[in-house]
Amino acid sequence: MKLFSGSSNKPLAEAIAKDLTTKLSPIETMIFPDGERRIKLNANVLEENTVVIQSTNTPVDQNYIELFFIIDALRRNGAKSVTAVIPYLGYQRQDHVFREGEVVSLDVMIRFLESLKVDKVIALDLHSIKIPELFHIPITHLSALPLFAERIQSKAFNTLVDSNNPDDFLKDTILVSPDMGGLRRIEQMSEMLSGIPWIATVKDRDLRTGDITIKQFEGPLNPSDLPGKRALIVDDMVSSGNTVVQSAQLLKDNGVVSCDVFATHAVFSEEAPELLQESSIDRVYVTDTVFISEEKYFPKLHVLSVAEMISKELHA
């Protein structure tokens, strides 16, 4: 098996290779003065099982086109199979026509991956449970939730949140979905954490301005249950950070003692790092599906790696 990495997330690709006790096969990228790139595989791929690792986060178009070109090169040069590991699948929020005249961008990407004859796709924590149905090739949908559950039950985490109950880490801990769309995720997470209770905050979006406000709760718990609780907000991604910041503020206003965020994809658009650092959130846990550049790090940020999870899947 030969592993290749696009340019979007080399550290993750290297970690996956290390887990598989191998090395990434080199790709040479030439950048021309007009901005076009030419990639060249510097390894023989004839009759090889190959893997290409590329997250398609911002710059999304460049990352997708680079992925397409690498797959084109693998195919034209005789690779026996091509598995595309796309830890963060770009354009996944455009998975259906919301309003007349719109594009289904994700479907364009999937159709082209299929036409390039990708054998299998591995992706993590897709925004909608229906996304795998858009693929006509095998797709493995991995989740970082078990990784988060493990961390939440670890001594390290509980020392960090100053737990008074070293023997029962989950006592007085509740799960929070920042909007009503994430209930399935919250239920899965609750199951992994001995069925701890959950609540959701309700997001209102102004359709004209796109601004969001979070003012109310819904779910099995009542706001009166919140004082003294440790809240764990769980979501698939943090983009602008507005949703989790507002959700956390509402929780704190209602008496929770600490509020941590667990989200798989650190999309971090606009001023997300500053917004999160200055918010009432205590800690932000994300994974390395999206490469986080140094200037986007902030003191409250903790990054867990999905490398082992992906390498296990590749090894299987």
Partner 1 sequence: MIGQTNTAMESDEFILLAGRANPPLAESIAKILKVEVTCPISIFSDGEIRVRIKPNLRRRNVFLIQSTSIPVNDHIMELALMADAARRANASEVTAVIPYFGYSRQDRKEMSRVPISASAVASLLVNAGIDRILTLDIHSEQMEGSIKQPWDNVYGSYSLLPALKERNMHNLVVASPDKGGFLRAAGYAKLLQAEGIAIAYKERDLEVNNVSETVNIIGNVKDKDVLLVDDMIDTAGTIVHAANFIKEKGARSVRVAATHGLFSGDALKKINESTIEEMIITDSIKPREEVLNNKKISVVTVAPLLAEAIRRIRTGESISQALIL
Indicate whether 59 belongs to the interface with partner 1 (CB under 8 A).
yes
In the bound state with partner 1, the residue whose beta carbon lies nearer, of 53 and 176, is 53
Indicate whether 269 belongs to the interface with partner 1 (CB under 8 A).
yes
- Residue (of 264, 164, 280) closest to 214 by Cα position: 280
Instruction: Say how many C-beta atoms besides its own lie within 10 A of residue 167's C-beta.
Output: 6
Indicate whether 41 belongs to the interface with partner 1 (CB under 8 A).
yes
Indicate whether 115 belongs to the interface with partner 1 (CB under 8 A).
yes
Indicate whether 112 belongs to the interface with partner 1 (CB under 8 A).
yes
Give the β-pairing of 283-287 and 212-218.
unpaired
Q: How far is the CB of 266 from partner 1 (least distance, A)?
A: 11
Sheet hosting strand 198-205, strand order edge to edge: 212-218, 198-205, 173-177, 230-238, 258-266, 283-287, 301-304
Indicate whether 20 belongs to the interface with partner 1 (CB under 8 A).
no
Of 22, 42, 194, 222, which one interacts with partner 1 (CB under 8 A)? 42
**How far is CA 279 from its chain centroid?**
21
In the bound state with partner 1, the residue whose beta carbon lies nearer, of 18 and 296, is 296
User: What distance, in Å, lies between the first and last C-alpha atoms of the chain?
Assistant: 12
Q: For residue 81, what are its two tokens?
A: 């199979």
In the bound state with partner 1, the residue whose beta carbon lies nearer, of 272 and 314, is 272
Indicate whether 18 belongs to the interface with partner 1 (CB under 8 A).
no
Crossing angle of helices 183-192 and 145-152, rounded to 10°: 50
Q: How far is the CB of 95 from partner 1 (least distance, A)?
A: 12
Binding-site size for partner 1 (CB under 8 A) equals: 52
In the bound state with partner 1, the residue whose beta carbon lies nearer, of 67 and 233, is 67
Q: Which amino acid is at 9?
A: N
Round to whole Å and give the CA distance between 19 and 181. 34
In the DSSP assignment, the letter for residue 116 is T
In the bound state with partner 1, the residue whose beta carbon lies nearer, of 70 and 147, is 70
Of 12, 51, 52, 73, which one interacts with partner 1 (CB under 8 A)? 73
Residue 85: HSE in the Cβ half-sphere, 13 Å Cα cutoff: 29
What residues make contact with partner 1 under the rule CB under 8 A?
30, 32-36, 38-45, 57-62, 64-65, 68-70, 72-73, 76-77, 90-91, 93-94, 97, 99-105, 107-108, 111-112, 115-116, 239-240, 267, 269-270
